[in-house]
Amino acid sequence: MRDGDVSVVALSAGLRQPSSTRMLADRLGQATLSALDAHGVTATAETVEVREIAHDVVNAMLTGFPAGGLPEALEKVTHASGLIAVTPVFGTSYSGLFKSFMDVLEPDSLTGMPVLLGATGGTPRHSLALDYAMRPLFAYLHADAVSTTVFAATDDWAGDGDTENPLPERIERAGRELAERIMRTDRTGPADLYDDVPSLDQMLRP
């Protein structure tokens, strides 16, 4: 684990207020902090609501550069010690807004990032979207997603969801996995554009 501040950032792509996606993101964040705390690691938690920067995300796609609130959100997400990414499932996959945010990230900016994946939906029948949509996206980005993902269906927010393996237990387990991954990782943030510029001699003689 890197020295200095440990930050857990939750990226929530929920659209409604209040949002069950945001609720799940917050719960996963708390579970991660608790697990870190159990190991004696103090961490901070922050949430990035994609909704609040939705226009900036679209503008960045159209103009090619981030402006408005987007640079700060990108900085938080890519410099986190661990990332929790939660999206509602729309039409069998992550929401378009969630994917748009992922699309304006620099291609290498999540390499090696410990990630916990979460999703919400009306019924548990959508839960596999985490494994066939979310996980490949983060694998493509070379992020380091923990094996447990958490899907919260509407019924999970009451007692009649999964009684064998209820939502709080799944959240707790997922938070523990992310905490352990954060502690084993020494990622220090995304590469800077100017870090490894080859000299002209190196470029002339590849």
Partner 1 sequence: MQFGIFSVSDVTTDPTTGRTPDDTERVRSMLTIARHADAAGLDVFATGEHHNPPFVASSPTTLLGYLAAATENIVLSTSTTLITTNDPVKIAEDYAMLQVISDGRMDLMLGRGNTGPVYPWFGQDIRQGIPLAIENYALLRRLWEEDVVDWEGRFRTPLQGFTATPRPLDGVPPYVWHGSIRSPEIAEQAGYYGDGFFHNNIFWPMSHTKKMVNFYRQRFEHYGHGRADQAIVGLGGQVFMRKNSQDAWNEFRPYFDNAPVYGHGPSMEEFTATTPLTVGSPQQVIERYASMRDDVGDYQRQLFLIDHAGLPLKTVLEQIDMLAEEVVPVLRKEMETKRPAHVPANPPSHAERAAARLEDAQTRNENEARDEIHA
* Residues near partner 1, by CB under 8 A: 58-59, 62-65, 67-68, 193-194, 197-200, 203-204, 206
Pairing of strands 82-90, 114-121: parallel
Q: Which amino acid is at 64?
A: G
Least Å distance between CB 202 and partner 1?
9
Side-chain-side CA neighbours of 92 within 13 Å: the count stands at 1
With a CB cutoff of 8 Å and minimum separation 6, the contacts of 126 are 89, 92, 119, 151, 153
C-beta of 14 vs 66, nearer to partner 1: 66
Least Å distance between CB 67 and partner 1?
4
Q: Which two tokens stand for residue 66?
A: 């981030």
Least Å distance between CB 53 and partner 1?
13
Cis-peptide, bond into residue 88, ω within 30° of zero: no
CA distance 196 to 176: 35
Q: Which two tokens stand for residue 21?
A: 């996606």
For residue 51, how far is the Cα from the chain centroid? Answer: 15
C-beta of 18 vs 206, nearer to partner 1: 206
Report CA dihedral (14, 19, 23, 25) to the nearest 10 degrees.
10
C-beta of 4 vs 206, nearer to partner 1: 206
Least Å distance between CB 138 and partner 1?
24
Least Å distance between CB 195 and partner 1?
10
Residue located via tokens 């748009």:
100
